[in-house]
Amino acid sequence: MAILSGLGEWFDKGRRSFAGWQEFIGETTVDCLSLIVRPRNFRFGDFLLAFQRASYSGLAISTGIGFLLGLILAFESAAALRSFGVEVYVADLLTIGLFRELGPLVTAIILAGRSGIAFAADIGTMKVDEELDALATMGLRPVRFLVLPRVAAATLAMPVLTVFAELAGLVGGAIVLRVMDVPTVVFWAHVESTATLFMIVFGLAKACLFGMLVGLIGCFSGMRTKATADGVGVAATAAVVSSIVAIAVTDGILAVVCYIWNV
């Protein structure tokens, strides 16, 4: 009976969470469409502040992680390809891996750990302090006032961070191959021949999608914060975990779609 009761509570919690997510997405969509008609209602000041925190403040760690990722991938790949005398093709592997997959994926996880948790904590603190109720009392929609600027900032910050991470990864790979006596000119020639316009655009589109997911989930977790001693902490943890899961699932779906369409 205890097991059945626990399963029932788990399903009921999931049902209520899904219903809340539907309501949140619906309200966000309505407010977003209303801003298209009345763009002056968009809070550009909050957007710029959130964009600065998400992009500029996270640029160093994203670039550093990208550089280390390029180093590691180059070393591991060169160790396997060197026995065949084709370690120069590490440049091709790095280009495809970083531009199509690892660049947006790793950067999105970093954004979730930095900005996603910050969005949840900021809005969660306001929820506990009843500031959201005060906004509603004054006739201000909390989603339009708090959520949309943060979601837009995360969506637009992701491509910027991704580009720097990918370039840093390529620099790391070039350094590794230079140590292995592969000329840097040859490395960048392989990068240029491998990187296609579709690959670059597809990677940046994935980055925008991942950034939007991080912003939406972070704000949604903050809006659902409970007024308890550990409410903000629970919301911040849920934001990070849910964002990473959503990013992984979405990336898997896109990989299957690309395989089916042979792109």
Nearest-angstrom CA–CA distance, 158 and 111: 8
Give the SS3 label for residue 130.
coil
Nearest-angstrom CA–CA distance, 151 and 115: 10
Terminal CA-to-CA distance of the chain, rounded, Å?
A: 51
Confidence of residue 2 (pLDDT cuts 50, 70, 90): low
Q: Is position 118 within any domain?
A: yes
Nearest-angstrom CA–CA distance, 68 and 63: 9
Q: Is position 225 within any domain?
A: yes
Q: Is position 119 within any domain?
A: yes
Q: Is position 150 within any domain?
A: yes
- Summarised one tens digit per residue, pLDDT across range 214-252 is 999 999 999 989 888 788 999 999 999 999 999 999 999
Sign of the alpha-carbon torsion through 13, 128, 20, 233: negative
The domain tally of the chain equals 1
Contact, 115 vs 53, CB < 8 A?
Answer: yes
Q: Is position 244 within any domain?
A: yes
Nearest-angstrom CA–CA distance, 263 and 254: 11
Domain that holds residue 188: 42-261
Q: Which amino acid is at 154?
A: A
- Summarised one tens digit per residue, pLDDT across range 100-135 is 999 999 999 999 999 999 999 999 999 988 888 888
**What is the per-residue pLDDT for 82?**
83
- Indicate the pTM of the whole model: 0.93
Tokens of 223: 């809006």
Q: Is position 165 within any domain?
A: yes
More confident: 199 or 13: 199
Q: Is position 224 within any domain?
A: yes
Which range of 6-20, 78-92, 180-194 scores highest in mean pLDDT? It is 180-194
- Summarised one tens digit per residue, pLDDT across range 175-191 is 999 998 889 999 999 99
Q: Is position 29 within any domain?
A: no
